[in-house]
Amino acid sequence: KEGKLEEGAQSEAHDYYRIYTTILEIMEARGYVVADELKEVKFSEFNEQFERHDLSDKREIFPPLDMEESEDFDPSIAVLFNFNNETISEEYIKRMIQAAPKIRKFFVVAPKSASAKANAPLLDKKAQNFIQELGKKDRDEHDAIRIEIFRHDDLLFNVLKHDLVPEHRVLTEEQKNDILQKYKVKESQLPKILLVDPVAKFLGLRRGQVVKIIRKSETAGTYTTYRIAV
């Protein structure tokens, strides 16, 4: 019986290690700086920390590659790994924001129990309303707080690395306008990518952003398409 408990604990540690590495890959894909010391963590080291509960309140802050200093806000993103499986309540969110008052972007892993039912809500209604209020469009860009919450199971594998998923590159606003002018099209005429699409979620796309999709072709080598997030 004890052996089965140990096996179960190590299996759980393996899952969290996969989530940990997936999140680091997501941060790099989004253009954030991920320190080598984080990427070089082996499972054995991770498992030791997991067994000591040193990871129960693990959080990391990732700065963007093009860091712009500001007294009012920090363009970095705070990741809360939530390895202690705490329920994401309104109180949890408030504590999270208070711990990093200048951060405006948060990436949170939902507790494992929230993945038990695929269609079950990750948050109660009170927490959902609170998050919506924080990110309202009528707020100043630097006042609005964006909180992304991911299911535990959705982070066990990096969908961006799937063989059938082509390379996606998020365009800047300037690059987007160049494409619209080049092809003489309006935003509404571009093919769409839904914000709920797994790739869109992993890249953290916002409504109106455009992604450049590069596919392999046996005849042309590669061919490129563009999609706008809706």
Domain ranges of the chain: 2-43+56-157, 160-229
Cα-trace Rg, the chain: 19
Burial class of residue 72, CB neighbours in 10 A (0-12, 13-18, 19+): exposed
Question: 95: which residues sit within 8 A by CB, 6+ positions away?
Answer: none
Nearest one of 104, 172, 176 to 140, comparing CA atoms: 104
Model confidence at 32: pLDDT above 70? yes
Q: What is the pLDDT, as a whole number, of residue 7?
A: 54
Model confidence at 1: pLDDT above 50? no
Q: What is the pLDDT, as a whole number, of residue 181?
A: 94
Q: What is the mean pLDDT of residues 205-210?
A: 94
Q: What is the mean pLDDT of residues 6-27?
A: 84
Q: What is the pTM of this model?
A: 0.85
Nearest one of 68, 59, 77, 55 to 148, comparing CA atoms: 77
Q: So what CATH class is 160-229?
A: alpha beta
Instruction: Provide the β-strand partners of residue 225.
Output: 213
Query: Rounded to an integer, what is the distance from CA 111 to the centroid of its chain?
Result: 15
Question: 228: which residues sit within 8 A by CB, 6+ positions away?
Answer: 187, 190, 191, 192, 193, 208, 209, 210
Reported as type and span, the H/E element at residue 192 is: strand 192-193
- Decide if 176 contacts 210 (C-beta within 8 A): yes
Sign of the dihedral through C-alpha 207, 94, 50, 75: positive
Provide the terminal-to-terminal Cα distance of the chain, rounded to the nearest Å. 51
Classify domain 2-43+56-157 at the CATH topology level: 3.40.1340
Question: For the chain, how many helices (H) and strands (E)?
Answer: 7, 8
Q: What is the pLDDT, as a whole number, of residue 140?
A: 62
Instruction: Provide the β-strand partners of residue 62.
Output: 77
Average pLDDT of the chain, as a whole number: 86
Q: Which two tokens stand for residue 103?
A: 């951060």
